Amino acid sequence: MTSDPLAILVIDEDRVRASIIEAGLREAGHCQVTIIHDVTGVARCIADTEPDVIVIDLENPNRDMLENIFQLSRAVKRPIAMFVGHSDKASMEAAIDAGVSAYVVDGLRQERVKPILDMAISRFNAYTRMSLELERTRHELEGRKVVERAKGVLMRTRGLSEEAAYSLLRTTAMNQNRKIADIAQSLIMTAAMLEGGGDIGS
């Protein structure tokens, strides 16, 4: 998150509880607060307001309502702090799996709003960094597999050693200002076409 003022969307069917959350947010210096009381229109409201953070307060959520909120959490990719009056272990685990950043049971007090919001943002940022790192690692592993297959093609079709095959891939990538994995993928596709679409395995 940036240091710019946060746009916060509060979802609460109960106007009294919503006013408690709003007071806690404004006391913490958050002025861009939007409150909605009808959860059925939440998707459109999120699209319209583009909030940085979402705060949801549900006194007695039923399973259908929770599932709708969890689907929302998976879709919006924003920090979500969720207050519930009552919960069970299964609902809490489902909330975590869905990406809810802070799940607070029976804890709605004005002075708790800011630290819980800060925790939600911190957890969301940490989760996002971890997800990006995992994605980068996955791409690197996939790239290495492609390079290994391309080396195998060169070794088989040109009689090169493994070192020479890799050197050829690297030199070609440098000359064309492309990634080695991209050169390797092009080579594998070309070899597959020349061999009639047969499997080019290492």
pLDDT of residue 202: 38
Q: Residue 58's beta-bridge partner residues?
A: 84
146: pLDDT strictly greater than 90: yes
pLDDT tens-place string over residues 9-18: 888 888 888 8
pLDDT level of residue 176 (50, 70, 90 thresholds): very high
Is 1.10.10.10 the CATH number for 136-194?
yes
What confidence tier does 175 reach under pLDDT thresholds 50, 70, 90? Answer: very high
Q: How many residues does the chain have?
A: 202
Mean pLDDT score of the chain: 82
CATH 3.40.50.2300: which residues of the chain?
7-108
Strands 7-12 and 53-58 come out as parallel
Q: Whole-angstrom Cα distance, residue 137 to residue 132?
A: 9
The tens digit of pLDDT for each residue in 72-111 reads 777 778 888 888 877 778 877 877 777 788 887 766 677 7
| % the chain with pLDDT above 90 | 22
**In this structure, are residues 108 and 127 in contact, taking their beta carbons and an 8 Å threshold?**
no
pLDDT digits (tens, 9 = 90+) for 179-193: 999 999 999 988 888
Spelled out in words, what is the top-level CATH class assigned to the domain 7-108? alpha beta
Residue 70 has a CB neighbour count (10 Å cut-off) of 20
pTM of the model: 0.61
Instruction: Give the model's confidence band at 151: pLDDT under 50 very low, under 70 low, under 90 confident, else very high.
Output: very high
